[in-house]
Copies of this chain bind each other. A is one copy, B any other.
């Protein structure tokens, strides 16, 4: 068992402690190295680590009621994997967000393909129009090999998951409760299918009941693991709109579907567009083009995408979905400009990178080995 693996149970155990979240786990890790040492520390040691008095007493009052070993066994019994933010399988995009969860629970599989994900969200009370749009756009995203992320809720969410599955695509449901529960209960079978053809994920420990105040935290994970968020329908104060605002704070693209100015369900989406916060979407290509995903399917189907030599491999490591200027690539790789320039041209021909704007490059989706969660 690896060092990291043996420490995992304490990460999971700390998830049971009130008040211990991103900031304090960071603090403890910095001081103690392994969380096991934090878990077994005295009040004095915790104080020395910089933990505040309130958190220390909350911890000391709860610690004895939590069994790190038992937590891990509970997860294993249900086939749920816990990923710490050090885990290679932890969604790379989620690492970029401000309040990333220390531990993410996964039921099913997260794969490399899920790096190219778009969240599809909307009201629980969608109109016939919204339901049709959700179905068609989620299906079209799936056919373009985009993983569709949503929240398993009634209405637009469940339609997006189902359309993705129907199109043979991958879909991820982010839950505002423990992964041993399915909410709403009538989506139990849907959850099962998602688990088999994608993943259910959550940062809440087992047994956590869904509560509406958990939704914003859940929503930030939906947008956090995605390149962008598509809001299909939602009134001005809907959860979908909150997700859109969070996505903007996380620097994610936000897309919205226009609709009738008389439909309450379109009030929020129309307003997002009106205020320039969301890009208007008429068809799936509008999303794919904006996220540099166009032609990705074609390229993934047509050839194995493997770098030809070491220069190409090195360059690819420094490219992501964020545009980077050729000079910066050169600096980071420490290679001569001529070598960088010709290798980038080759990679572009192979469809593995794409030039966006003047001498700025992004990586196009590649077929990498599965993360194997």
Residues in chain A within 8 A of chain B (CB atoms): 129, 132-133, 257-262, 266-267, 270-271, 273-274, 279-283, 286
In the assembled complex, the Cα of A261 lies from the Cα of B132 at a distance in Å of 11
Choose one: B260, B262, B274; the contact of A280 (CB below 8 Å).
Answer: B274
Among A132, A257, A258, A274, find the residue whose CB has the most chain B CB atoms closer than 10 A. A258
In the assembled complex, the Cα of A266 lies from the Cα of B271 at a distance in Å of 17
Instruction: With both chains docked as a complex, state the minimum distance between the C-beta of A248 and any C-beta of chain B, in angstroms.
Output: 17
Question: Which residue on B lies nearest to A272, using beta carbons?
Answer: B280
Question: Which residue on B lies nearest to A283, using beta carbons?
Answer: B261
Choose one: B266, B271, B279; the contact of A274 (CB below 8 Å).
Answer: B279
In the assembled complex, the Cα of A154 lies from the Cα of B95 at a distance in Å of 57
B280 engages A133 (CB within 8 Å): no
Instruction: With both chains docked as a complex, state the minimum distance between the C-beta of A189 and any C-beta of chain B, in angstroms.
Output: 30
Choose one: B260, B273, B286; the contact of A260 (CB below 8 Å).
Answer: B260
A271 engages B282 (CB within 8 Å): yes
Choose one: B270, B279, B282; the contact of A267 (CB below 8 Å).
Answer: B282
Choose one: B262, B267, B279, B282; the contact of A261 (CB below 8 Å).
Answer: B282
In the assembled complex, the Cα of A273 lies from the Cα of B273 at a distance in Å of 8
A259 engages B262 (CB within 8 Å): no
Question: Which B residues touch A280, using CB under 8 A?
Answer: 258, 270, 273-274, 280
Question: Which B residues touch A270, using CB under 8 A?
Answer: 258, 280, 282
Given contacts A257-B261, A259-B259, A274-B280, 12 further A-B contacts (CB under 8 A): A129-B260, A129-B262, A258-B260, A258-B266, A258-B270, A258-B273, A259-B260, A261-B281, A270-B282, A271-B282, A274-B279, A274-B281
In the assembled complex, the Cα of A35 lies from the Cα of B257 at a distance in Å of 56
In the assembled complex, the Cα of A257 lies from the Cα of B132 at a distance in Å of 21
B274 engages A286 (CB within 8 Å): yes
Question: Which residue on B lies nearest to A276, using beta carbons?
Answer: B276
Question: Which residue on B lies nearest to A261, using beta carbons?
Answer: B282
In the assembled complex, the Cα of A283 lies from the Cα of B132 at a distance in Å of 25
Question: Which residue on B lies nearest to A137, using beta carbons?
Answer: B261
Question: Which B residues touch A261, using CB under 8 A?
Answer: 133, 257-258, 281-283
Instruction: With both chains docked as a complex, state the minimum distance between the C-beta of A194 and any C-beta of chain B, in angstroms.
Output: 27
In the assembled complex, the Cα of A283 lies from the Cα of B274 at a distance in Å of 11
Question: Which B residues touch A258, using CB under 8 A?
Answer: 258-261, 266, 270, 273, 280
Question: Which B residues touch A274, using CB under 8 A?
Answer: 279-282, 286
In the assembled complex, the Cα of A273 lies from the Cα of B133 at a distance in Å of 19
Instruction: With both chains docked as a complex, state the minimum distance between the C-beta of A323 and any C-beta of chain B, in angstroms.
Output: 20
Question: Which B residues touch A133, using CB under 8 A?
Answer: 261
Question: Which B residues touch A262, using CB under 8 A?
Answer: 129, 132
In the assembled complex, the Cα of A258 lies from the Cα of B266 at a distance in Å of 10
In the assembled complex, the Cα of A177 lies from the Cα of B341 at a distance in Å of 61
**CB-defined A-B contacts under 8 Å, sample of 9:** A132-B262, A257-B261, A258-B258, A258-B270, A258-B273, A259-B260, A270-B280, A273-B280, A274-B279
Instruction: With both chains docked as a complex, state the minimum distance between the C-beta of A193 and any C-beta of chain B, in angstroms.
Output: 28
Instruction: With both chains docked as a complex, state the minimum distance between the C-beta of A283 and any C-beta of chain B, in angstroms.
Output: 7
In the assembled complex, the Cα of A286 lies from the Cα of B282 at a distance in Å of 22
In the assembled complex, the Cα of A92 lies from the Cα of B267 at a distance in Å of 37
In the assembled complex, the Cα of A280 lies from the Cα of B283 at a distance in Å of 18
In the assembled complex, the Cα of A55 lies from the Cα of B305 at a distance in Å of 66
Question: Which B residues touch A271, using CB under 8 A?
Answer: 282
Instruction: With both chains docked as a complex, state the minimum distance between the C-beta of A242 and any C-beta of chain B, in angstroms.
Output: 20
Instruction: With both chains docked as a complex, state the minimum distance between the C-beta of A234 and any C-beta of chain B, in angstroms.
Output: 14
Instruction: With both chains docked as a complex, state the minimum distance between the C-beta of A179 and any C-beta of chain B, in angstroms.
Output: 35
Instruction: With both chains docked as a complex, state the minimum distance between the C-beta of A115 and any C-beta of chain B, in angstroms.
Output: 27
